[in-house]
Structure formats: structure tokens, C-alpha cells
Amino acid sequence: MFTHIDANGNASMVDVSKKNDTLREALAEGTITLNKEIISAILENKNKKGDVLSTSKIAGIQAAKKTSELIPLAHNLNLTKIEIDFFIDKKNNAINCKTLVKCRGKTGVEMEALTAVSVALLTIYDMCKSFSKNLIISKIILLKKSGGKSGNWSK
């Protein structure tokens, strides 16, 4: 059953007005594969465009807050926490991004966590594309979510 389609088959925002407010959390992650030169430039803060990871973290936070403007049927949420962490994998020339998003509300924050990861990784791409266009964003997934009627879920 598709919750975003009404009885006539039209797109429709889900009515959550009768749901109880609960603590909602979602954890998502994704990866960008770069190259050794780019990883070194990021670690040594030698990118001409500035501090790649700080800028990408801010971009991810802004994206989470604007998810309802980007995803047409997503609800506008009062987010209470957005945490973005980067883990550099020198062996594989990659950066893993994890995001945790929280709110107390009537609907979940999975889309906000996934949007934050996506935009944070896109920002890394944008800031590093002058080094190489052969950058790969991959494995953007929801790891777990909690709260609401459906309860807890984890991959």
C-alpha cells in the first residue's frame, strides 16, 4: 500500500495530525571514493576551495533542515539534532559520512538523514572536482530508525 497516493491515485501528503508525538531518530550513511591526492589535500587542508569537511558538514545540516522543500510530500519537521561525522578510509581512498537526525514529532526523520548524507557527499564532490571528475558517491543507505507506530528498525 502506497501511503502517498489518495483513493483516486493522486499524489497526496499523508495526514499525520492524529498521530502522537514521539522521539524520532534516523541514522544514515554513504561513501565517496576519491583518490590518494584528494584525500591528502583534504587531510592537509590544502584544497583551494577551503575546508572540505567543515563545509560539507554545514551543507548536510542545511540540507536536513530543508528536506521538505526538496522532497515534495515530506513534512516540515522541527529537527532537534543533526549530527554529521566523516570517517576517512585511506586504504580505499574514501570518505564515509554518517548522519544522525532527531526530532520529537508525528513522522520520522529518515528522509532528513538520507538527504543530509547525500548533500554532504555532493559538497565533497563539488569541492574536489577540480582534482578529478572520477569521484564516486555510493552506498547511501538508512542504517536504522526509531520511534513512531512502526517502532525500531535497523539494517
Sheet bearing 136-146, strands edge to edge? 79-89, 94-105, 22-33, 136-146, 153-154
Question: Which grid coordinates belong to 51?
Answer: 575546508
Question: Which helix (H) or strand (E) segment is 119 a member of?
Answer: helix 110-128
Q: How far apart are CA 20 and CA 149, in angstroms?
A: 9
- Residue 126 catalytic? yes
Q: How far apart are CA 37 and CA 35, in angstroms?
A: 6
Dihedral pair phi/psi, residue 96, rounded to 5°: -100, 135
By annotation, the residues acting in catalysis are 126
